[in-house]
């Protein structure tokens, strides 16, 4: 098969992880696959690294929504960077496409600086960005300046590379401080025996919410909770570490292949006891 015939395919991380696990279990290869696009959710670093290093597949990141018809940013180097993207930018969702403006703002609506560290609510606007949903008044989905609230929490660096920190509804507020569920999930996914990981906010009598880690291991694998929790040492501040780990046979997904955190919260949000441990009265 020639280079021109090699394939490029887009999908959410769950589908690519499924392919990756199949390849690792069977020893098969996908030499016809030249490039894959990860969208719909944040790309775990293990997914990017293994497809790039082991299978020689170029992994592209992108972000979008149905409401913006549908792609807003793509991870492509700036012209002066040629084919090189610095390590700190390779797992960012990317820079805006023509016709899309974006910004991040705080709870008061004030713009947040593009430092790559400071987080804010992500807004977009443009001629093909949704201004109203069917049956609602014209312009009801945007503010007076045409900005559409994406529902995502993000950072943007000085080069304009945007990174999704989390969905606003999935952020965990513990003792008044925010914790990113995506950051914790990516760390858990770095363990070779973890097939899928999801972090949700579990109710806590003192801190209101604490992170609870839900794990589906690869077929036949067995991992101790302490082994997973040790992954967080020196990678996040101590109070970000999940209070407990729950191992499950299956993690529910939405129709588009994303992890269904609504279902997980309904099932597990009240699993922590008074001391932040599982099944403790």
Query: pTM here?
Result: 0.83
Please compute, for residue 259, the number of CA atoms within 13 A of its CA located in the half-sphere on the CB side. 25
Please give the pLDDT value at position 11. Answer: 87
Give the number of residues written for the chain: 281
CB under 8 Å to 226, separation ≥6 — which residues? none
In CATH, 171-268 is 3.30.450.20 = no
Half-sphere CA count of 209, side-chain side, radius 13 A:
21
Only one residue has tokens 């775990």, namely 44
Tens of pLDDT, residue by residue, the chain (281 residues): 444 445 566 788 888 999 999 999 999 998 888 889 998 888 888 899 999 999 999 899 999 999 999 999 999 877 665 556 676 788 899 999 999 999 999 999 999 999 999 999 999 999 999 999 999 999 999 999 999 999 999 999 999 999 999 999 999 999 999 999 999 999 999 999 999 999 999 999 899 999 999 999 999 999 999 999 999 999 999 999 999 999 999 999 998 888 999 999 999 999 987 666 675 43
pLDDT value of residue 148: 98
- Could you tell me which of 148, 48, 162 has the C-alpha nearest to residue 97? 162
Using alpha carbons, select from 182, 187, 252, 241 the residue that is nearest to residue 216: 252
């Amino acid at each position: 098969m020639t280079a021109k015939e090699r394939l490029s395919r887009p999908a959410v991380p769950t589908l690519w992880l499924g392919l990756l696990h199949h390849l690792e279990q069977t020893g098969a290869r996908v030499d016809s696959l030249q490039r894959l696009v990860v969208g719909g959710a944040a790309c775990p670093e293990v997914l990017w690294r293994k497809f790039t290093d082991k299978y020689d597949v170029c992994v592209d990141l992108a972000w979008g929504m149905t409401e913006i018809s549908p792609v807003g940013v793509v991870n492509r180097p700036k012209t002066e960077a040629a084919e090189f993207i610095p390590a700190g930018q390779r797992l960012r969702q990317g820079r805006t496409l023509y016709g899309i403006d974006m910004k991040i703002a705080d709870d008061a609506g004030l713009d947040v600086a593009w430092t790559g560290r400071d987080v804010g609510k992500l807004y977009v606007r443009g001629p093909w960005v949704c201004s109203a949903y069917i049956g609602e008044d014209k312009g009801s989905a945007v503010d007076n300046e045409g900005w559409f609230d994406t529902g995502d929490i993000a950072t943007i660096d000085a080069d304009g590379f945007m990174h999704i920190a989390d969905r606003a509804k999935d952020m965990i507020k513990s003792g008044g401080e925010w914790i990113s569920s995506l950051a914790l999930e990516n760390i858990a996914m770095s363990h070779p025996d973890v097939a899928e990981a999801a972090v949700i906010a579990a109710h806590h009598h003192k801190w209101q919410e604490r992170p609870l880690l839900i794990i589906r291991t690869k077929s036949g694998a067995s991992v101790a909770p302490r082994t997973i929790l040790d992954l967080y040492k020196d990678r996040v501040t101590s109070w970000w570490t999940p209070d407990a780990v729950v191992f499950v046979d299956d993690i529910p997904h939405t129709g588009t292949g994303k992890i269904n955190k609504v279902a997980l919260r309904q099932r597990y949000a009240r699993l922590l006891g008074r001391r932040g441990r599982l099944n403790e009265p």
